[in-house]
Structure 1
């Protein structure tokens, strides 16, 4: 460490602020530059929490936390990890959505890296500008489909930043070895192109013949620079996300959280929902509103339960009904379907159902799963119609942010007379109904991706396989016991996320060795001890070696 106060007090990874003791202040020439009192990390955290709670506006809280991170990384993660349930809705959904929309207006300091169309041909040399010695994980987005908010362009940087903060807090990646990335291929949102504070390239999105080579150059450069890095694709539009995953999942260590992470976490919730309603998977009839990356990813994961029950994929698909903006997806609808939609298109309809209500009346589903991005699309009439035919309806209103949820937790419980099994994507408060307190489940990807990513990275897995995704889901489901499931609880509390992520990482590593994917030799004799030894925990005394 350089003997310069301008360095140590302005380096968030090294700065302790008032936590520097007298010996350190003398050695680093900090005497007189800090108040006399030497504080513990806990004392600093208490003050920071007081400052955090003094803000009445969530966006102000978001800005405060990110400024704290830019000043003192250790304090930021200590505060976050000890107040995760309080701060998770601030650093990620739903507040991160507003932060992305106002990214240019509220910009204060640069985080991560940006690779634009003008950088084609020089991405590898640009990566040498990244100041950290190494990178273990990259979260990359092109800003084309941020949450349910649409094309935000470079304003979407808040998503990779927030996701990596959750990787650190939730699983224990070291913060200095994480890299958020935006690939700037333009934006088709007119208001950003006309916004004087917009920080991205001012042109509409480039065509595929420019887009795919840009992404390919980025990936080739990333794995050349950091051969053991894990890349997570995030919030990329449906017209590109499936192809990118298909093209690279067997070439590099990468996965798509919107497709695979969402699929895994909802699979876990569905496993427990089936336990709660005490009806086998073969008796479930599932209607999906939304046939994008998340919806297809969820269906693909749930399909694994049918396969375990000895049901063929062809037969299992008869239990799925997908509804998009044009109505029920069928092979006879007369429009061109993407390969992903075609896989679940119904062949047994010679008539058209154009609304979700019509489909619910026709199918009488046991489960209604919303990943449409359309707020309030599960109306009272739809939910009550579903409830007529099902004792315990499974209702997953999963679109983010909160304003885009298909229905609220309160609506779901009231319209089903308290009989439903409910989960959402963004958090809802407990609901009081008929002298009973219902605690809504939150099917948030944070339960899955931190542990999945940590396990795949630590064992140097060649790829992230479907079996690892399913293993992560099953591991998560076991954190809710039978006595809790019967009450309608299908997800554990987020306060247990470190333990959840640790167990998922262990099982993912075991699965990687079973599949011959793990390249770490020799195999650790105690995998759980190995995982815990390699997890970051914020402390002024921590030594980090990698």
Structure 2
């Protein structure tokens, strides 16, 4: 206890978030048990330090703060030897791998090998929030080069100094990696793809979801956590999910992933065909509203969202034409929800729901304060990165944070508990519904659509139980027989840092 108090006091003395991050990474290296004890007991304060937004800056400066490699690097130079490289990792019983190729780190772009901060950070959340033992987690960065000129010319860049491998060379490396992972760790190892560029992310997910246990956090984790917020917000907005109209700014991994999961949930709840459910959802990309007349030039993942409508260039005009009840930002570009856009939402809706989801904070489509001020305190607001509560006309309004950390650790634990061999969309829906159930009346009173992170381990156990139940129901579980009480079983599986008392 004294040790923990002393460390928290030390951490709070750092003015610069990056210095706190470095101190936490040093602690993880030096005393893993204490690192997790600290993170679990002070989750709301330390989550932004070990993950977004600070991890973004850490990745940008990874070359100069690099101390000791924390995960496994697999480079293009090791083609043909990936199985041997995996065998170099000291821990054998790996249950979760988080892997990136560093091409699209948060909203910061191509950071190459320096993207390692992301799998490392994500897996520390798997342990702290989901109770997956640290020895069962493996962070991996696949180094295929970088197209970031600044890094190619940086003497401290830790990765391959060459342009990114693409096409067949890239596909073969990934194929070898996925085969080696299964050979070395078996059928049930969860491979979570993280921060891959759009074109690769969709391809890898659809290719390997048939043969491996894979999950893409940017497509599926984000979708699940946003859907949970939407289900929870119905208590404040009224109506069912199918009564609402959704407008997205951004049609990449996150946007289309969320849109598809909303459509699935609507179709499940109403019995309407998926195509019909999709018509409630509109997307705007960099060229404007996605409409039928653009079909010929759209990437495949945008095509299902091309509806009948005349083309519209500007977001504010799209809001006026579509009259959405929910506005969702997944563009990766900050400041896109202008006063004009937000005021239009407020003129159309008694309680406009505005989700500015792009990370880190600097890329958010608008701030919590802007959303509340421009809607005269009527907005329900959620964001991807944390925002402080806002006082508006003597009322304290608390923004919700649609953070993947709510879903992925519990989701991963649920898959591991059941010994799942494949991921199915119904498991994502189960996770969303479980999270939405955790929002209580007192949370709603403050305008929250997500529960606070303080009880996150309890929330994760609950999500894990609901996900595992779905795995068993779908016949995709290999850990048999099914435990009677899945919540209790989840809690019993969770790692906790143990401290022996010497007195």
Query: TM-score band, normalised by the shorter chain?
Result: over 0.9
Cα distance in structure 1, aligned partners of 2:435 and 2:253: 22
CA drift of 1:282 comes to: 2.7
| Corresponding residue for residue 317 of structure 1 | 278
| Corresponding residue for residue 345 of structure 2 | 386
| Corresponding residue for residue 189 of structure 2 | 229
1:191 alignment partner, one of 129, 135, 150: 150
Q: Secondary structure at the match of 2:388?
A: coil
Alignment of 1:466-545 (within 5 A): 466-482=425-441, 484-485=443-444, 487-541=446-500
Change in Cα spacing, 1:253 to 1:334, as seen in structure 2 (3 Å) is closer
Regions of 4+ moved over 6 Å: none
Asked if residue 343 in structure 1 is aligned to residue 278 in structure 2, the reply is no
Equivalenced residues, count: 499
CA drift of 1:361 comes to: 1.6
Cα distance in structure 2, aligned partners of 1:541 and 1:145: 42
CA drift of 1:530 comes to: 2.0
CA drift of 1:541 comes to: 4.4
| Corresponding residue for residue 101 of structure 1 | 60
| Corresponding residue for residue 280 of structure 1 | 240
Alignment of 1:42-441 (within 5 A): 42-227=1-186, 228-307=188-267, 308-333=269-294, 336-346=297-307, 348-349=308-309, 351-441=310-400
Q: TM-score, normalised by structure 2?
A: 0.97
CA drift of 1:481 comes to: 2.7
Worse-superposed segment, 525-534 or 264-273? 525-534
Q: Deviations over 1:317-361 (max 9, x none)?
A: 221111111111112137511121001112x12x32111111112
CA drift of 1:310 comes to: 2.5
Q: Deviations over 1:515-534 (max 9, x none)?
A: 00110122223322222221
Q: Secondary structure at the match of 2:57?
A: helix
Cα distance in structure 2, aligned partners of 1:391 and 1:283: 15
Stretches of structure 2 that go unaligned for 5 or more consecutive residues are none
8 Å contact from structure 2 (residues 443, 451) kept in 1: no
8 Å contact from structure 1 (residues 276, 486) kept in 2: no
8 Å contact from structure 1 (residues 331, 345) kept in 2: yes
8 Å contact from structure 2 (residues 53, 360) kept in 1: yes
Cα distance in structure 1, aligned partners of 2:416 and 2:240: 35
Q: Deviations over 1:196-240 (max 9, x none)?
A: 111111111112111111111111111111113211000111011
Q: TM-score, normalised by structure 1?
A: 0.90
Cα distance in structure 1, aligned partners of 2:443 and 2:402: 16
CA drift of 1:51 comes to: 1.2
Cα RMSD, aligned residues only: 1.3
Q: Deviations over 1:408-458 (max 9, x none)?
A: 000000000111111000000000001100000000011100010001012
CA drift of 1:250 comes to: 1.9
Cα distance in structure 1, aligned partners of 2:239 and 2:375: 18
Worse-superposed segment, 486-495 or 89-98? 486-495
Cα distance in structure 1, aligned partners of 2:94 and 2:496: 18
